[in-house]
Amino acid sequence: ASAPDSGAYTTEYAEAAVALLKARGVDTTGQNWRRVEVTLNPGGE
């Protein structure tokens, strides 16, 4: 088998998605992450 060409791997779509999210004010790095307390109830209620 031959080696893949230079276009076989690209991050352009991921980079474009992150740029779009950042432009919309979405935290893409987890910098604003805060722990939240969750209560688990029987039966999911």
| Per-residue model confidence (pLDDT) at position 1 | 84
Q: pLDDT digit string (tens) for 6-26?
A: 889 999 999 999 999 999 999
| Per-residue model confidence (pLDDT) at position 34 | 96
What amino acid is encoded at 9 in this protein? Y
CA atoms of 13 and 7, how far apart (whole Å): 13
Other CB atoms within 10 Å distance of the CB of residue 38 = 5
| Per-residue model confidence (pLDDT) at position 41 | 94
Contact predicate 28/16, CB 8 Å: no
